[in-house]
């Protein structure tokens, strides 16, 4: 059965017309087994989370042990070894000043917490007027109300809500002289009201996979610092190797004030995210006044089972050649994917790390295209105007070639179908 269950409300779907929902029953490596025993090669690593492939035994073993010891304990009033170890593990991966982790249960909530940190930082510094945010067109930062306010209000998935969420500043990424001048003018005119600037480094993922370079991040960071504005880096999709380095901002020589992590943090096994701050941000909350504390605490924050999975995932990055595998994926994508540029419907082909993007002129017959990929034995989920793959880093050469071959075969078929 590929039909939706009548008691479930599925994400990002018009339920009136949803008629194709394959039922998964098993995962292994880069493969998904369906109820009818059909096997799909996963081209999107379960929304970009399963960086080590599914069911990695190191992560499974760590979770099994933690499940027996203590699957959950409230973090209000308690501490525990898995969270303490994870904070130290993340500290070891980041520059020296990132010493304070606030663990939450999803990427959207990590962004919400980072926004609350930024606003309250300025309140505690007696600058309560600094409460607005500047974000960028084609950006995506989550589905909760605060996070929606910093997504692209026109082209993003949440345009319906633009009159119901706080109005923020949303402008073009400063990639050329005109957009750089506009960025500087916006900052000059709003610096007294801006709490923070936020961006997804190098790749704006769910907003359409727009790329920019390290020098853009450096430009933004320098101006933020010069104008006393905090800088938040949203690494939820790009972090943990996806763009070719452990974190996408690494080579830009910047020092953001807050970093948001999620998705691949647990290797795609269980939900966990975090907001990590510098010492200077953290110290602004230290006071004799209780109201100066950060008043946030999700029920499942710092969940021990999730922290154990994340610790195992980080050990895999240290012990297995993940970044080399990402480089090999990038080489393969650059070698073969650019063939798609010759197709009539294709506007651009972009590759960075383990991300391959085919941008099309117009996304027609989306449901036909998604079904056709499943028929071909691959799980690829086009959206907006992009057909993309972001596979697990451990994907075999054979399976990666199957994904690429499916794209090259099916896009011309889709072009023909779209003309009917």
Active site residue ranges: 12, 140, 234, 263
Continuous segment of H or E residues that includes residue 170: strand 169-171
**CA 234 – CA 299 distance, rounded (Å):** 23
Rounded to the nearest 5 degrees, what angle is found at the Cα of 25, between the Cα atoms of 21 and 30? 90
H helices, E strands: number in the chain: 12, 16
Please say whether the beta carbons of 23 and 1 come within 8 A: yes
Identify the bridge partners of residue 232 per DSSP, sorted by sequence position.
Answer: 198, 258
Please say whether the beta carbons of 235 and 385 come within 8 A: no
Radius of gyration of the chain from its Cα atoms, rounded to whole angstroms: 22
Give the residue carrying structure tokens 């994340």: 310
């Amino acid at each position: 059965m590929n039909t939706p269950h009548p008691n479930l409300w599925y994400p990002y779907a018009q339920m009136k017309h949803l008629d194709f929902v394959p039922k998964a029953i098993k995962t292994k490596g880069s493969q998904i087994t369906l109820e009818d025993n059909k096997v799909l090669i996963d081209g999107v690593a379960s929304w970009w989370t399963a960086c080590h492939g599914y069911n990695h035994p190191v992560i499974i073993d760590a979770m099994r042990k933690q499940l027996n010891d203590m699957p959950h304990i409230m973090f209000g009033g308690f501490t525990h070894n898995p969270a303490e170890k994870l904070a130290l593990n993340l500290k070891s991966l980041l520059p020296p000043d990132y010493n304070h982790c606030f663990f939450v249960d999803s990427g959207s909530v990590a962004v919400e917490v980072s926004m609350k940190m930024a606003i309250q930082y300025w309140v505690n510094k007696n600058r309560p007027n600094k409460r607005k945010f500047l974000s960028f067109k084609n950006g995506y930062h989550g589905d909760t109300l605060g996070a929606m306010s910093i997504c692209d209000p026109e082209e993003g998935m949440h345009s319906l809500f633009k009159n119901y969420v706080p109005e923020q500043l949303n402008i073009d990424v400063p990639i050329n002289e005109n957009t750089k001048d506009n960025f500087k003018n916006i900052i000059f005119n709003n610096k007294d009201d801006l709490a923070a600037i936020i961006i997804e480094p190098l790749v704006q993922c769910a907003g359409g996979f727009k790329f920019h370079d390290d020098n853009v991040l450096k430009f933004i960071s320098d101006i933020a610092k010069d104008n006393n504005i905090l800088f938040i880096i949203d690494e939820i999709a790009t972090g943990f190797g996806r763009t070719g380095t452990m974190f996408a901002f690494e080579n830009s020589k910047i020092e953001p004030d807050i970093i948001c992590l999620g998705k691949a943090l647990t290797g795609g096994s269980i939900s966990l995210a975090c907001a990590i701050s510098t010492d200077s941000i953290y110290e602004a909350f230290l006071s004799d006044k209780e109201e100066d504390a950060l008043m946030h605490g999700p029920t499942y924050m710092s969940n021990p089972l999730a922290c154990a999975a994340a610790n195992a995932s980080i050990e895999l990055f240290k012990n297995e050649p993940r970044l080399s595998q990402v480089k090999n994926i990038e080489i393969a994508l650059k070698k073969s994917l650019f063939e798609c540029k010759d197709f009539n419907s294709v506007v651009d082909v972009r590759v960075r790390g383990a991300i391959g993007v085919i941008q099309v002129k117009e996304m027609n017959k989306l449901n036909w295209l998604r079904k056709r990929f499943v028929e071909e034995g691959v799980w690829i989920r086009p959206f907006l105007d992009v057909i993309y793959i972001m596979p697990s880093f451990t994907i075999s050469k054979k399976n990666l070639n199957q994904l690429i071959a499916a794209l090259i075969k099916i896009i011309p078929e889709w072009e023909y179908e779209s003309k009917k």
